[in-house]
Amino acid sequence: MKIKVSGWNLLLFICLLLSFFPLVWMISTTFKQADQIFSEFLNPLPRPFTWENISYVLNAVPMVRYFINSLIVAVLVTAFQLVTSILAAYSFTRFDFKGRQFLFYVVVASMLIPIQVTMLPNYLLISKLDWLNTYAGLVAPQLANGMGVFLLRQTFRTIPQSLYESAQVGGAAEWQILWRIAFPVVRPTVLALGVMFFINVWNEYFWPLLVINDKDMLTIPLALQLFINSEGGNSWGPMMAVGTLASLPPLIAFFIVNRQIVSSFISTGVKG
């Protein structure tokens, strides 16, 4: 195969290196000994290879507990956001009700509001409910997602009206039409959204920082700061070990679902 290297290819390659460098550096640092981290800063290969950063991290703080915390929050939020997005988007597509367009604009507008605007009222509400330092406090403000509603509505709209009507004439109730006809067709979008939601919540730093100060309730991104504060900011090995551990679940989730997303895209041959 002949490969033609043009200026653009070179530029793209440099961009690729730049975007991969932090990731590679994080992973290699995880397995390097403390003295090798800066003496061989650019060398991606850890010599000697060591597990000591990982084992230090696992022993110094209740890492497994933080993992479970993060997982519970991420799974709950993702599940809720998907369910509410699907139901809302389906309603916006299928039912003709008064104020539908206005309501939809409100949902879209909600995407434009930054967290800094909602943070105080949300915090006060959660605190009044006595939900600080609880899963409920972490999950409750994120049960719906305007982006999900918007994207799914666009996808539902690509389904020909006659598909819904055919099921309706065939005797299907509305929830059956949604679950057995519409959902299988939009499944690739739902999976992609699910991964996106999961990664967003998993990486969330700001909101947990506000509502959690109980050490047992920390999520993984918050656990990272333990190493910055307590060790004076120079324990790069353990910090990168937390980082590597933290990026595993989203990466795994992405690779598992990635195949499904691709295959479901292929199998969704809505008649043209």
Binding site for another protein (CB under 8 A): 160, 162-163, 165-173, 176, 180-181, 184-185, 267-271
Alpha-carbon span 121 to 69, nearest angstrom: 24
Judge whether 102 and 189 are in contact, CB under 8 Å. Answer: no
Between 72 and 181, name the residue whose CB sits nearer to another protein: 181
Q: State residue 82 phi and psi, 5-degree precision.
A: -65, -45
Nearest to 185 by CA among 90, 101, 256: 90
Between 154 and 158, name the residue whose CB sits nearer to another protein: 158
Burial of 130 (0-12, 13-18, 19+ CB in 10 A): exposed
Provide the phi-psi class of 115: left if phi over 0, else alpha when psi is between -120 and 50, else beta. Answer: alpha
Alpha-carbon span 174 to 118, nearest angstrom: 35
Alpha-carbon span 262 to 267, nearest angstrom: 9
Residue 187 Cβ, how far from another protein at the closest point, in Å?
A: 8
Residue 106 Cβ, how far from another protein at the closest point, in Å?
A: 23
Between 176 and 247, name the residue whose CB sits nearer to another protein: 176
Residue 267 Cβ, how far from another protein at the closest point, in Å?
A: 7
Strands (E), the chain: none
Residue 255 Cβ, how far from another protein at the closest point, in Å?
A: 24
Residue 196 Cβ, how far from another protein at the closest point, in Å?
A: 23
Alpha-carbon span 17 to 27, nearest angstrom: 15
Alpha-carbon span 93 to 18, nearest angstrom: 42
Quick one: how far is CA 237 from the chain centroid? Answer: 25
Residue 269 Cβ, how far from another protein at the closest point, in Å?
A: 3
Residue 149 Cβ, how far from another protein at the closest point, in Å?
A: 23
